[in-house]
């Protein structure tokens, strides 16, 4: 009984030491035309974001306990330019670059290029 109690207390202490992490996602538009980003997040909330040419925009924010990949937050991620959808799978973690990461924050950037629409 004493061992189970110590194990329970140890587990609670380990869990309570991990803080929430704020995830911020940005899209960089390297195209000479506006792009439209359509996302569906883990709560099935759909959002459409317009990003002007050669600019970047913050597209999503969430706070969660621990480290996760981009595919945790997004169920669907479609980028459109001139009514043409890109065939790139933007939920692929390898396409995202972490530009800032601490114990409490993570900022990830996705760059959309003209080649994505060829």
Tens of pLDDT, residues 41-100: 888 999 999 999 999 999 998 887 666 656 677 899 999 999 999 999 999 989 999 887
Q: Enumerate domains of the chain plus CATH numbers.
A: 20-117 (2.60.40)
Q: Judging by beta carbons within 10 Å of its beta carbon (0-12, 13-18, 19+), is residue 62 exposed, middle or buried?
A: middle
DSSP state of 51: E
Q: Residue 106 in contact with residue 22, Cβ under 8 Å?
A: yes
pLDDT tens by residue, 20-41 = 888 899 999 999 999 999 999 8
Contacts of 8 (CB under 8 A, 6+ apart): none
> Is it the case that residue 108 has pLDDT exceeding 70?
yes
Cross-strand pairs, 20? 65
Q: Judging by beta carbons within 10 Å of its beta carbon (0-12, 13-18, 19+), is residue 83 exposed, middle or buried?
A: exposed
* Site of tokens 């709560």: 43
């Amino acid at each position: 009984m004493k061992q189970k109690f110590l194990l329970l207390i140890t587990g609670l202490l380990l869990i309570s030491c991990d803080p929430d992490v704020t995830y911020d996602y940005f899209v960089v538009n390297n195209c000479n035309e506006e792009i439209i980003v359509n996302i569906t997040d883990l709560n099935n909330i759909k959002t459409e974001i317009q990003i002007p040419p050669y600019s970047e925009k913050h597209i999503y924010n969430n706070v969660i306990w621990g480290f996760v990949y981009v595919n945790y937050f997004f169920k669907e991620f479609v980028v459109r330019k001139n009514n043409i959808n890109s065939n790139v799978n933007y939920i692929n973690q390898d396409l995202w670059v972490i530009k800032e990461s601490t114990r409490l924050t993570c900022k990830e950037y996705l760059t959309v290029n003209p080649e994505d629409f060829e």
